[in-house]
Amino acid sequence: MIAEKESGLVQKGLNMKNEMEVIFDAVSNNESFARMAVAAFISSMNPTLEELADVKTAVSEAVTNAIIHGYENYYGYGRHGELQPYFTTTHPGKVRVYCRLEKGILYVDVEDKGKGIEDLSKAMEPLFTTKPELERSGMGFAFMEAFMDDLEVESVVGEGTCVHMKKKLGNGAWIDRED
Ligand SMILES: Nc1ncnc2c1ncn2[C@@H]1O[C@H](COP(=O)(O)OP(=O)(O)OP(=O)(O)O)[C@@H](O)[C@H]1O
Ligand SMILES: [Mg+2]
């Protein structure tokens, strides 16, 4: 027990497996919910502020994509801060966010059952967007790639898209570094 207590691995919970899953309506209001849910889930790992910001940004980008591209639900994503673009429609649909913490690594899947991506390698190129009318900049996948350690995307036209991301969380809070 003492040996276990002294091991930093046990103290930080690094050897524990922990999973969570949330499924929510594909509407813009739920984007911040998803970001906060993942941030709360990883808080037991004492992530640095930078790690936390990176994960929140990557989750936001993937969830936004599921809502506006997967299901084409544009409410809340109008131009110049307008809530409702003139072509707004709302399609029913759910986004699933699954997270697993294992050996200090965060695995996140963001999945939709929307329209899917026709040309995945083109979609993942920086600055490529199919929604310039919504003032999208085509940088979502580039940010996910930059802020996480690994990114893989699976997509089938007419069936949906699943974004798999991984990030090592291990620096811990400054107070832990003393031991
Ligand atoms: N879940 C998805 N379902 C369908 N198409 C998607 C999905 N995610 C991304 N795409 C396609 O990939 C393109 C690139 O996505 P990316 O996130 O890089 O840029 P964007 O969303 O267009 O712009 P930004 O993220 O900078 O606002 C999108 O324009 C869209 O065509
Ligand atoms: Mg995007």
Over residues 140-160, the pLDDT tens digits come to 999 999 999 999 999 999 999
Pick the CATH number of 15-83+90-168 from 3.40.50.450, 3.30.565.10, 3.40.50.720, 3.30.360.10: 3.30.565.10
Q: What mean pLDDT is reported for the chain?
A: 86
Considering the candidates 72, 100, 136, 145, report the single residue annotated as catalytic.
Answer: 136
Q: Is 131 in the pocket of ligand 1 (CB under 6 A)?
A: yes
Encoded tokens for 108? 């996140």
Burial 73-86 (b: 16+ CB within 10 A, else e): bbbbbbeeeeeeee
Model confidence at 174, pLDDT cuts 50, 70, 90, reads very low
pTM metric for this prediction: 0.87
Instruction: Choose, from 31, 51, 61, 111, the residue flagged as catalytic.
Output: 61
Question: Encoding tokens for residue 129?
Answer: 């967007």
Which residue's alpha carbon is at the smallest distance from atom 19 of ligand 1?
Answer: 138
Assess whether 21 carries a catalytic annotation: no
| CB of residue 172 inside a 6 A radius of ligand 1 | no
- Count Cβ atoms below 10 Å from residue 120 Cβ, excluding itself: 13
Tell which one of 120, 129, 143, 162 to mutate to probe ligand 1, the residue whose CB is within 8 A of the most ligand atoms. Answer: 129
Percentage of the residues of the chain whose pLDDT score is greater than 70: 80
The protein residue with its alpha carbon nearest to ligand 1, atom 29, reads 129
Answer whether 95's CB lies under 8 Å from 67's CB: yes
For the residues of 24-92, what is the DSSP string, one character each? EESSTHHHHHHHHHHHHHGGGG---HHHHHHHHHHHHHHHHHIIIIIS---TT--GGG-SS-TT-----
Q: Is 136 a catalytic residue?
A: yes
Residue located via tokens 């400054």:
174
* Contact (Cβ atoms closer than 8 angstroms) between residue 162 and residue 110: yes
* Residue with tokens 């640095």, as numbered in its chain: 48
Boundaries of every domain in the chain: 15-83+90-168
156 or 11: whose pLDDT is higher?
156
Give the number of C-alpha atoms closer than 13 A to the C-alpha of residue 119, restricted to the C-beta side.
6
